[in-house]
Amino acid sequence: MTTTTIKKNKPSKKFYVTTPIYYPNDIPHIGHAYTTVAADVICRWNQLLIGKENVFFLTGTDENAKKVFQAAQKKGIETKKFVDFLSKEFNSAWGKLNIVPNRFIRTTDPDHVEVVKWILNKAKENGDIYKGIYEGFYCTGCEAYYTEKDLVDGCCPIHKTKIENLKEESYFFKLSKYQDKLLELYSKNPDFILPQRRGSEVINRVKEGLKDLSISRKDYGWGIKLPFDETHVCYVWYDALTNYLTGVGFNKDKKLFKKFWPADLHLVGKDILWFHSVIWPAMLISVGIEPPKSVFAHGWWTFDNEKISKSRGKVINVDDLIAIAGVDSLRYFLFRGASFGEDGDFSEKALIERHNSELANKLGNLVSRVSALAEKYGLTKTENTLIKKLDLLKIEKYFSEYELDKALCLIFTFIDNCNEYVQEKKPWETQDKKVLYELVDSIKAIAILLWPYMPSSCEKIAEQFGFNIEYSLLKKPIKINDIKKGEILFKKIDIK
C-alpha cells in the first residue's frame, strides 16, 4: 500500500467526487440536496478546469439498511419494490436540480454486491475478519453501534429513542489493528480530513484507541449475505462505503478504475465523518487499495432554527424547495446562506430576500442593463480595466479548498464592482462603447465563474452575449457579437 502526500492547490488531471449514498426510506430533503448540489458545483468547476471527460461524479442510494427494511415493512410494501420506488425519487430529484452524475449507484446493483463480497473475502484472507460475540447497543436510526457510555438516559444520543441491546454472534473487522496506519495517513496528508478543525477531533479520537467493528448481523431477510457465512448479512456501512469502488468500475472496468481511483473527494455531512475518515481508509488499507485523497465534512441545515426532523414535520423536500424561487436561486442560496463546513439555518424568507436583492437586483439588472445598452449603441474593443478588480487567484484557491461560500462571495463582490462601474460611467448618457465592452467582457467572466452554481442562468447569459462557458475564455477578451436583450433572468418574488 502506498500513501501519497497531497499537495494543496495543485490541480490534478482527473477528479473523482462522491456524495454519501442516501437511505431510500423516504423522499429526498434539503440535507440530501445540499451535499448533492455541492458535489455538482465541485464537479462542474473541475469540468471547467480539466474537461468533462476527466471528471467523475458518483451518487446513489444505500439500500441494504435495516432502517430501509423496517420502513418498507411499516408501509406493508415488499422491500425491493419500496427501494425501487424511492431510489427513482432521488434520481429524479437530482435531475430537477440540474445535477447529472456519471453514475447513480444502488447498493442492490449486482456489480456492487460482487464488490462487497470481494472486499469481505479479501479482508478475511488477510486475517482481518474473525467471528465473535457482539454485546452492546445498536441504533437502527443511525445504523451505528454504541456503548453504554455513549447513551443518554439509556437512549440513542442522536435520536433520543430506545435502543436495541444486542448479544449475538457476529463477525468483526480488526479496526484496532489500523490505529497507527491511520495516524500515519493523517500526518502525511494534512488535507485528508477537511475542514481541518474537524480533522483534529477525529485524530484525537483515533489516538484514544480503536475497537474492532462488528460487521455482520444474523440474516433478517434483507442485505448482502457474507460470502463465507450465508447465515449473516453484511453490516450496512461496510457494504455502503464500498460503493465508491464499485462506482468507478472496480474489478469490472479496469481502465475506468485506473483513471479515477483514488477518489479525490468524498463529500459528507459532519455526522458521518467517522465512517469515512476512519473505518473506510482502514478497510481499504486492509485489502491493499489506496485510500481517498480527501474527505470534506459540511455542516447541517436547520429549518427556521429547528432541527430538520420528520417527527416535528420540519422536513423540507426538494420539490418544495424548488417551488420557492426556482432551481438556480436555491442552488445559489445553499452556498450563500451558510458557510460551507458550518451549520446554517434555512428560511424561505431569507432565500426570497437573496433572490430579490442579489439575483434579481444585482446580477439580473447588470445583465439586462448592459445587454440593452450594448444592443443599442454597440461595442468598441478596448483593454478591460474593470476586470482587474476580479480576484481570480483567490477564487481558484477557495475552490481548490472547497470553500464554496467564499468563492461565491468573491464573485459577488465583482458583480458589485461592475454595478458601481455602471453608475460611475453612466453609459446610458455617454453612449461610451468602450465602457460597454468592458462591462460585457466582465459579464462573460462572471457567467463562467458562476456556472458551477447556477448553470442554466449562466448558459442563458452566454447565449445572449454570444460566448461559450469555457474556462480558457475567462482570460481571453470577448469577441464582439450581436447581443440579444434576452429574457429577465430572475423575476422578483413577493414575500408573503
Residues forming contacts to ligand MSP in the complex (CB under 6 A) are 20-23, 31-32, 34-35, 62, 240-241, 243, 268-269, 271-272, 300-301, 308
Judged by beta carbon, residue 177 or residue 270, the one nearer ligand MSP is 270
Ranked by CB distance to ligand MSP, the top (closest) residue is 269
- 309 or 456, CB closer to ligand MSP? 309
Based on the residue annotation, tell me whether 159 is a catalytic residue of this protein: yes
Nearer to ligand MSP, 37 or 469 (CB): 37
Minimum separation from the CB atom of position 251 to ligand MSP (A): 18
Tell the burial category of 84 from Cβ atoms under 10 Å away from its Cβ (0-12, 13-18, 19+): middle
Shortest Å distance, C-beta 399 to ligand MSP: 21
| Shortest distance, position 27 Cβ to ligand MSP, whole Å | 11
Min separation Cβ 271 and ligand MSP, Å? 5
Nearer to ligand MSP, 348 or 375 (CB): 348
32 catalytic residue (yes or no): yes
Active site residue 266: no
Catalytic choice (131, 160, 252, 307): 307
Task: Tell the smallest beta-carbon distance from residue 270 to ligand MSP (Å).
Answer: 6
Smaller CB distance to ligand MSP: residue 28 or 364? 28
Q: How far is the CB of 440 from ligand MSP (least distance, A)?
A: 38
Of 47 and 61, CB closest to ligand MSP: 61
Residue 33 or 447 having the CB closest to ligand MSP: 33
Per the residue annotation, which of 142, 270, 425, 492 is the catalytic one?
Answer: 142
List the catalytic residue out of 67, 96, 122, 159. Answer: 159
Catalytic residue among 139, 234, 418, 458: 139
User: What does the H/E/C string look like for the chain?
Assistant: CCCCCCCCCCCCCCEEEECCCECCCCCCEHHHHHHHHHHHHHHHHHHHHHCHHHEEEEEEECCCCHHHHHHHHHHCCCHHHHHHHHHHHHHHHHHHCCCCCCEEEECCCHHHHHHHHHHHHHHHHCCCEEEEEEEEEEECCCCEEECHHHCECCECCCCCCECEEEEEEEEEECHHHHHHHHHHHHHHCCCCEECHHHHHHHHHHHHCCCCCEECEEECCCCCCEECCEEEEEECHHHHHHCHHHHCCCCCCCHHHHHHHCCCCEEEEEHHHHHHHHHHHHHHHHHCCCCCCCCEEEECCEEECCEECCCCCCCCCEHHHHHHHHCHHHHHHHHHHCCCECECEEECHHHHHHHHHHHHHHHHHHHHHHHHHHHHHHCCCCCCCCHHHHCCHHHHHHHHHCCCHHHHHHHHHHHHHHHHHHHHHHCHHHHCCHHHHHHHHHHHHHHHHHHCCCCHHHHHHHHHHHCCCCCHHHHHCCCCCCCCCCCCCCCCCCCCC
CB of 243 to ligand MSP, least distance (A): 6
Distances (CA, A) of 233 to 201, 207, 218: 32, 31, 6
Any catalytic annotation for residue 29? Answer: yes
Catalytic residues: 29, 32, 139, 142, 156, 159, 307, 310
